[in-house]
Amino acid sequence: MRTTTFRRKPFLLGAGLTFLAGVAAATTLHNFDNLPLGTTFADTGASVTVSSATGSSGNAMQLAFDLTAGEYAGVSLGVQGYDFTALGATAVRFQYRMTGPAQNIEVLLVDGDDADDGASDRRQAVFSPTVDGAWHTATLFQANFSGVQNNGNAVFNWREISQIIFVIARGGGANGAGTLYLDNVEFVNGGTTVQVLDDFSFDKDDVYYLEWSQDPGTPFPLSIEVDDTVPGGTAGNRVGRMDYTLSGVSDFGGFVRALNANLLAEPRLRFLCQGSGANANLEIKLVDIDNTYYIRRLSDFTDTAGKWRTLSLPPTSFEFNGLGADALLNLKRIKSIEFVLARGESTSGTFLIDSLETRAPTPIDKQNLGTVLTSVATPINPFSPNGDDRKDDFFVNYTLGEAARVVFRVFGLHGTPVRTIDIGSAVAGSQSVIWDGLADDGRVVQNGMYFFTLEADGASGKETFRHVVGVVR
């Protein structure tokens, strides 16, 4: 294949921090629900155009190519800074559908050794796709990628993947026009989506962090230290450590961890922490792809008396704090997480963090809730109202201890009413309500996190159950 050089934008640090990546699962790079930033290219005489199409789940990227008079064409997708190693990933996985004459598909990974990619190293994997117009899944393991171009230091940097390039190359002498559809490009481990965001097991210089404080001259130092006291940890376990001093000169500071996280597919942020010294406030910020950020504040939190705590935070517990391109937090495209220590006490302290991860939801099965509403279970959460007959409906199974008037309501994260289903009077015993993903106006709701309430008003009083529900079309 002929060599083509692609350019990407460098990091923009500070308030304009930019991290180009699209996520649909914890490590999904692009799910193409929105057409990604990409660069097309083609051999002389060949052509390719990119558009959006219906995919295996949601939208897909459609590449219409013509290799009648050329040997290759393709597209490069920016996934700047993705740390393949720290996530424990072992393979690249994606869905594809192809029509037209049989061609080869070449997948190239470009590392981040050079800001303009001209001096970056590349690794390539080639496979022969099934060309039958149906959707298929391809998994390319790390060992399938071999050296194809060493413009940098000749050592491929798996700690920072800057681009994934898909190339349609003439196979077996075939030419002509065809179409390749791509969907759900992701890094995986053993076929299971990786959930760990950072376990602090790598040296600080090997992972992308940004340290800062109110006083630019003295940012809070972040270090990676051995700490065997972490619950469940093994000998030599490593943690992130901040040694800080809060005063009138420097009221706050912290660090940014650039990463890819999907709090829609896995709607719970979890980490371990321990602190001593000052009892400062802890703020956790979620920043999405267009720089909208939401925040969760924990007052007078950091002094844990040397004991490790586990925090498990649903996205519904975060509130709007900064406007990006819009005021909505794109849970599928969280590009960074900020940990901020803000002055509660004007003194020094130490704060440790370990095992930063997202968690997939587990089915709800709550028993012995109350007198009127005695149990609630939701076997499918999140659900996918896209009409493919797979997880299209959200079921709420519940039990009434006595006859009651029942109302099911769905709200957006900010409390905006979305759907009301007035069930009316229901007798005691097992019941169920089904939400088909439609809003009150009859339109299918957007992907995202919502919360629902189930109200049961009986002779013994009114009881309400609340929980989150995810929509992934």
Q: How far apart are CA 102 and CA 180, in angstroms?
A: 11
The CATH classification number of 364-471 equals: 2.60.40.4070
Cβ neighbours around 296 below 10 Å, total: 18
Task: Say what the pLDDT of residue 33 is.
Answer: 47
Bridge partners, 285 (sequence order)? 295, 338
Token readout for 118 is: 């001209």
- Answer whether 14-190 and 364-471 agree in fold: no
Nearest to 395 by CA among 411, 376, 374, 412: 376
pLDDT for residue 373: 94
Check residue 195 and give its pLDDT: 58
| pLDDT the model gives residue 437 | 92
Predicted TM-score of the model (pTM):
0.49
Alpha-carbon span 172 to 102, nearest angstrom = 8
The CATH superfamily label for domain 14-190 reads Galactose-binding lectin (2.60.120.430)
Domain made up of 196-358: CATH architecture = Sandwich (2.60)
- Burial category of 205 from C-beta neighbours within 10 Å (exposed 0-12, middle 13-18, buried 19 and up): exposed
CB 311 within 8 A of CB 351: no
Backbone angles phi, psi at 226, to 5 degrees: -80, 130
- pLDDT at position 21: 26
Helices and strands in the chain, H and E counts: 0, 33
Residue with tokens 């559809």: 181
Q: Are strands 373-378 and 269-277 parallel, antiparallel or unpaired?
A: unpaired
Cβ-based neighbour number of residue 352 at 10 Å: 22
Per-10-residue mean pLDDT of the chain, 473 residues long, equals 26 22 39 56 86 69 88 80 70 88 86 59 86 87 78 74 86 76 79 61 76 75 88 85 82 83 74 89 90 89 89 82 79 85 81 84 75 89 77 88 95 88 93 92 86 93 89 73
Tell me the domain boundaries of the chain: 14-190, 196-358, 364-471
Q: Are 445 and 328 a contacting pair, CB within 8 Å?
A: no
Q: What is the structure's pLDDT at 117?
A: 46
